[in-house]
Amino acid sequence: MMDTIVCPMGGGATRLYSALTAPLSSSPLPPPAVTNLDPAFCQGAPVCPAELLRQCEEALRGRAPRFHRKFTQLQDGGGAPSSSIRVMQWNILAQALGEGLDSFVQCPPEALSWSRRKYLILEEILTYRPHILCLQEVDHYYDTLQPVLAGLGYSSNFCPKPWSPCLDVEGNNGPDGCALFYDESRFEFLDSVNLQLSTMRIPTNQVAVVTMLRCRSSGRCVCVAVTHLKARSGWEWLRSAQGSDLLRHLQTLVQKHAHDSAGAQTLDIPLLICGDFNAIPTEEVYRRFAASPLGLDSAYKRLSKDGSTEPEYTTWKIRPTGECCATLDYIWYSRDTLRVDAVLDMPTEEQIGPNRLPSFSYPSDHLSLVCDFSLKEEE
């Protein structure tokens, strides 16, 4: 295994129907009116996830084998499997960046085509079926991810970057941003806010979506956030400031909802914060989250033998500037109110292969993180 390094980083459904292959012109803001979807789909016909997964696999027939990853079950005791909350965090790689700006020199251009990647992305999501899905670098929200996942019972919120680098790429599909999806059969929507993260009250190009949900089975609230902090070496101070801004907003939203109907203080609201932080674990923004008075911990540390070490990598790519193998992605959770029941392991170096990511097997330069959580009992 090569050493983990800090490296220059880039900027940032009834059928999988022919409409998904039709290109869109640059999407305006506010949200565009998407008109080139299959009419049957737009009428809200119900979708069978197993059938959609089968269609993905059929479209990808003959491809290189997908990564076989297993869940590590943690001996925490507690909640029944039926009450587990499965959370997925994933930077899916914006299409415009993958084809236009990120320069993955060892990745064949054919592996970066949207006609292929969309099936791989949906296959990954459908394989793990998260109840909460947090995505970064989403530039096919309106024409693909939102309608397809809505057909599977997910509601969602999307926040585009105000000055997305995708807009500089010819033939782009609009700005990339963060998207938060949740399973409506498991959660009731309470509140949501889209944030443009600031430093010293100056807005930046990085965003977050923060959504307050109520679990339908337990009646407990959960606050979920997805973010994507500033990339590249030399911007550590800005990532730290953006992280602090997000923590402040989270504290405000939690305090707003932390009372029952009679106005009495309730149990602390559990937090789940997913993101591509573009920061290795020694950076200040990581330390800020670990030391936050919100009582946060990083779920993927639970994969290590001592329970206190992050994985060796969550991204592995080769660019003209060299090879980058680093841990930049995290799922933070409230350790006093949430229990980690299972964590999806990382593929090995051998599985990833010598040309690294993305590849014909995997659509992004970042690996998905998937964890099962359960709510601790109120005392």
Report residue 110 CA to chain centroid gap: 24
Residue-level pLDDT at 34: 55
| 267: DSSP letter | S
What's the pLDDT tens digit per position in 166-214?
A: 999 999 999 999 999 999 999 999 999 999 999 988 999 999 999 999 9
Give the pLDDT mean for 17-28: 33
- Using alpha carbons only, what angle is made at residue 131 by residues 126 and 135, rounded to the nearest 5 degrees? 70
CA distance 91 to 334: 22
Contacts of 337 (CB under 8 A, 6+ apart): 267, 268, 269, 270, 375, 376
| Bigger pLDDT: 52 vs 131 | 131
**Is the previous residue joined to 30 through a cis bond, with omega within 30 degrees of 0?**
yes
Residue-level pLDDT at 39: 30
What's the pLDDT tens digit per position in 254-302?
A: 888 876 555 545 558 999 999 999 999 999 999 999 999 999 999 999 9
Backbone angles phi, psi at 306, to 5 degrees: -90, -5
CATH architecture of 85-375: 4-Layer Sandwich (3.60)
Collapsing DSSP to helix, strand or coil, 24 comes out as coil
Longest dimension (CA), the chain: 60
In terms of pTM, does the model score above 0.85?
Answer: yes
Residue-level pLDDT at 100: 83
CA distance 363 to 357: 8
Residue-level pLDDT at 267: 58
Residue-level pLDDT at 8: 40
Domain chopping of the chain, boundaries: 85-375
Residue-level pLDDT at 266: 54
Of 74-88, 118-132, 289-303, least confident by mean pLDDT is 74-88
Residue-level pLDDT at 161: 98
